[in-house]
Amino acid sequence: MKFVTLKIFLFFLFIVSLKAQIYLDPNATVEERVDDLISRMTLEEKVGQMTQAGRSFLNSENDIRDYFLGSLLSGGGSSPNPNTAESWANMYDSYQNQALSTRLKIPLIYGIDAVHGHNNVKDAVIFPHNIGLGATRNPDLIRNAAEVTAVEVAATGIDWTFAPCIAVPRDEKWGRTYEGFGETPELAELAAVAAIYGYQGDSLNEQKTIAACAKHFIGDGGTTGGIDQGNTEISEEELRAIHLPGYLKAIEAGVGTVMASYSSWNGQKLHGHYYLLTTLLKEELGFDGFIVSDWAGIDQLPGDYKNDIKESINAGVDMVMVPDRYVEFITFLKELVNENQVSIERIDDAVKRILKIKFELGLFENPLTDRSLLNLVGSQEHRNIARECVRESIVILQKKDNVLPLRKENQKIALIGKGADDIGLQCGGWTIYWQGGLGDITEGTTLLEAVKKNTDHSNVIFSENGEDLSDTDIAVIVIAEEPYAEFEGFKEDLTIPDSDVELVKKAKEAGLKTVVILYSGRPMIINPILQYSDAVVAAWLPGTEADGIADILFGDFQPKGLLPHSWPKYMDQIPLNIGDAEYDPLYEYGFGLISVGNSQFGSSPLFYSANVDKEKNRVVVTFNKQIDFNSIANSSFTLLGENNFISNSTSVDGSLDSNSILITFDEYVETDIKLSLEYVSGSIKSIDGGLLIPFENKVVYNSSSKADIHTIPGKIEAEDYYAMSGIQTENTSDVGGGTNVGWIDNDDWLTYKINVQTHGTYQLNYRIASQSQAGIIEFSEGSNVLSTTLLPVTGDWQSWRTVSTIVDLQKGETEYTLKAVTGGFNINWFSFDLLVNVDENNDNNISFKLEQNFPNPFNPSTSIEYTVPSSEYVRLKVYDILGNEIAELVNEHKPQGNYHVEFNAERFPSGTYFYKLTAGSYREIKKMMLIK
């Protein structure tokens, strides 16, 4: 009887206990549940909730339970093996079960940088980066993209994304420019609301919604000089006017979390800024979610680590991202509370904010992955939405008539540049790895594949280097920034690289129409390519669905994209933003052509480009449509340099290109002076009768950049001279088309700037034609004649033959001259083939070199390359962050040469490692990061 009574009593106590646990009652209000739970928590449990550890830095999964960790995160590239959605779900549930085994069963909240899709997960859909979404100006589409991302993130169990970034980038040198939606607070407002509603839906407690994180509070896009994690030196009035509006809208939209910025405001780090984090954000704006630090962000505060913790928590940071120092953080924070340096009230406020979001997410009721969503990851439905985002993000910067749309029949299309068939370049940074990667790093459609879908495969060729373009009608050249993220993307010079300029130039000289597609995370300086292009398209970093680009190129849809940034003419204009007192961009903020078809019949011709020709007193001006050369005679132009008058035009003539005119001035201009052109008067018309409207301040390309320097071994087009005397150019019927140099008389000459990469003996090949007279050509450096070659008669001015001789060339950059000792011949090109490499026998011309490992970060293996200039004993060792040697990769004599070695870190934990090359007196150390 007593036993039965005891059982009844214990059962009664159990029921009473359950009823008393309000925090486990889903019918109680969130406030009631938070208050009940925090009343039950020890200091250790509270501090654990404020701690976010990096999954790859966990000493053991048991640490989640033993330290009551409130959150984990995956940094860029921190993924399970294999990197599949199902593996992510399994990993998440394993971690969550550890949290649920604690006394109070408080679930984890797991954070990830899903910033353009679930971009850490292989084969998830990758959307355009935010700069592209900003170009759409379409809040419904931005919301749709965020909704898809939320579903794919939720399918892997994860409940929190560190997005959207609502920075307002004001200096395009900043390596995170593409993470913002554009240069104005209005774009940040529009996109913030759309993205937050997309991630969070109408309720966080839904199967397909996740918590959003507005970042990086505040002013990260306004740092002086575009320095990442730098100092934003502006008044509070400017800070509020430019960088605050997006956060106001985010809070109105109910954003759950806000991330503090690495940057400083007028010298004070944001992670320790009480006024901005607490007074402004929490009190004035009424933000009731929680503030999370950035990755090891508190470490940048002055003082020791314990002081960093005190300053950041007291300033208002609620959860601290301490990827690898979580034990140290927990120990110090408990000490600070016990020493009354951090109040228990501040701790309770932080924990309440964190618990509030966890309850709103429904984590206490549904802590584990909903695996019914897994089949949606990378689904065609989701890819269709991404394709639409790409399509609407495309900005047509300029184009000539009769170029676009591409034809689906009866046109042979060349795709040029490695970006045309490279998913990694298409997606940019924050894709699978923190810094992104190259090649087929995830599932998607490249532009080459997208173009092939729209036409017969036999009509499409791919040429990475622009070779073998015969029988091709049009070239689509993809110029792509190498992937980067954060500070790795800072650039002092955003000019299109010379190698890419050469690709466009090569296609144009082959007689093709040229469409340039830019894959970039910001506006680039494109003046060097304009003279060789027929259309220029900003595609930003479009992600995995290049079908959206093809939709525009083939005219199935008309372009809608508008520039989210002002597009500068020159680097020294940056920072350049709408509203500046001196505002003179190449393309204004909000610009974008809205048709790929021809201009309206009879419409005014539009200025396309201008460049100084080789005579230095003539400017070639190109328009979007053909010009009636009968209308140009009495027109007048003015050339200015650095905004100062240089010369009025003395004559205006037609050009070989029917879209161009040739303006002669009575003054020669110095190379690299910034030139601008004014159309003062005249009656220039297009062939369809459109009258050219007078214009001013049009940029004239005038550079002696590396694009004008020819590198050999290689081929040089004869018309690409630096200076000349006596010759003219004409169209050629030789293979490859383009133009040749002709009308060569005795003593005419051409000078070229040539960079000889290797000292050696070369075969010099001339491509010549001669109707009836044998010529003699001299090749010289200054007064030193290197070769004299007899040129045979070929029987016609366009009957071409290659003639060869031998020359010895020194390494370096200098000017070489071709002189017609006896004229009467044409020359199309000349080339140099290396026969004997003198450098191979000269150790002094090769130096030791240790390359950066690739990929970096890596998991589990990476490749290290190094160069040895002469036979030497080589040691290559790997060390951990404490300086302990953990691996010896090389320990032997090596002959001269280039080497690479693989380092497999499968048995080592995530973290920072160093590798050191020792060879004779040479020493070099580099850093790499392993993220598992």
pLDDT > 90? residue 457: no
Per the domain annotation, does 338 fall within a domain?
yes
Shared domain for 825 and 861, answered yes or no, is no
Q: At what angle do helices 139-154 and 185-200 cross, to 10 degrees?
A: 40
Point out the least confidently predicted range of 443-447, 646-650, 803-807, 913-917. 913-917
Residue 783 φ/ψ, nearest 5 degrees: -90, 0
In the chain, the number of structural domains is 5
| Cβ 893 vs Cβ 883: under 8 Å | no
Return the DSSP state at 76. T
Which pLDDT does position 707 carry in this prediction?
A: 46
**CA-based nearest residue to 76, from 272, 372, 323, 319:** 323
- In DSSP terms, 304 is beta-bridged to none
Q: Which amino acid is at 494?
A: L
Shared domain for 767 and 798, answered yes or no, is yes
pLDDT > 50? residue 929: yes
**CA-based nearest residue to 196, from 127, 138, 132, 247:** 247
Q: What CATH number is given to the structural domain containing 694? A: 2.60.40.1220
How far from 558 is each of 128, 129, 391, 404, 853, CA to CA, in Å? 18, 21, 9, 11, 43
Average pLDDT of the segment spanning 799-803: 94
pLDDT > 90? residue 789: yes
Per the domain annotation, does 579 fall within a domain?
no
Distance CA 794, CA 436 (A): 54
| Cβ 648 vs Cβ 665: under 8 Å | yes
Average pLDDT of the segment spanning 537-549: 99
Radius of gyration of the chain (CA): 32
pLDDT > 70? residue 811: yes
Shared domain for 835 and 891, answered yes or no, is no
Pairing of strands 675-681, 698-700: antiparallel
pLDDT > 60? residue 895: yes
Catalytic residue among 113, 159, 220, 294: 294
Which of 793, 819, 839 delimits the end of a domain?
A: 839
**CA-based nearest residue to 759, from 663, 834, 869:** 834
Point out the least confidently predicted range of 101-115, 307-321, 398-412, 874-888. 874-888
Which of 703, 721, 736 delimits the end of a domain?
A: 703
Whether 348 is catalytic: no
424-438 burial, b at 16+ Cβ within 10 Å, e below that, comes to bbbbbbbbbbbbbbb
Per the domain annotation, does 207 fall within a domain?
yes
Which pLDDT does position 68 carry in this prediction?
A: 99
Q: What CATH number is given to the structural domain containing 734? A: 2.60.120.260
Model pTM?
A: 0.80
Shared domain for 355 and 248, answered yes or no, is yes
Shared domain for 287 and 327, answered yes or no, is yes
Distance CA 842, CA 857 (A): 36
- Domain around 568: 394-573
What average pLDDT is seen over the chain? 93
- Nearest 5°: CA angle at 432, between 428 and 437? 50
**CA-based nearest residue to 525, from 485, 563, 574:** 574
Shared domain for 208 and 330, answered yes or no, is yes
- Nearest 5°: CA angle at 172, between 265 and 117? 90
Per the domain annotation, does 820 fall within a domain?
yes
Which structure tokens are listed for 585? 């961009």
Shared domain for 45 and 66, answered yes or no, is yes
Residue-wise pLDDT for 221-234, tens only, equals: 999 999 999 999 99
Shared domain for 472 and 493, answered yes or no, is yes
Which of 819, 839, 859 delimits the end of a domain?
A: 839
Percent of the chain exceeding pLDDT 90 equals 79
Shared domain for 111 and 154, answered yes or no, is yes
Band the pLDDT of 846: cuts 50, 70, 90.
Answer: low
Per the domain annotation, does 440 fall within a domain?
yes
Shared domain for 795 and 870, answered yes or no, is no
Per the domain annotation, does 600 fall within a domain?
no
**Bigger pLDDT: 812 or 346?**
346
| Cβ 645 vs Cβ 593: under 8 Å | no
Shared domain for 521 and 635, answered yes or no, is no
pLDDT > 60? residue 843: no
Which pLDDT does position 736 carry in this prediction?
A: 74
- Residue whose entry in the numeric block shows the structure tokens 């690898």: 324
Q: Which amino acid is at 665?
A: F
Distance CA 526, CA 586 (A): 9
Q: At what angle do helices 305-315 and 344-360 cross, to 10 degrees?
A: 70
Residue-wise pLDDT for 545-576, tens only, equals: 999 999 999 999 999 999 999 999 999 999 99
Q: What CATH number is given to the structural domain containing 101? A: 3.20.20.300
How far from 359 is each of 30, 207, 880, CA to CA, in Å? 6, 14, 41
Shared domain for 149 and 264, answered yes or no, is yes
Per the domain annotation, does 57 fall within a domain?
yes
Average pLDDT of the segment spanning 455-471: 90
Band the pLDDT of 922: cuts 50, 70, 90.
Answer: confident
Per the domain annotation, does 56 fall within a domain?
yes
Cα pseudo-dihedral 503, 506, 512, 515, rounded to 10: 20
Which structure tokens are listed for 42? 């020890």
Distance CA 101, CA 365 (A): 15
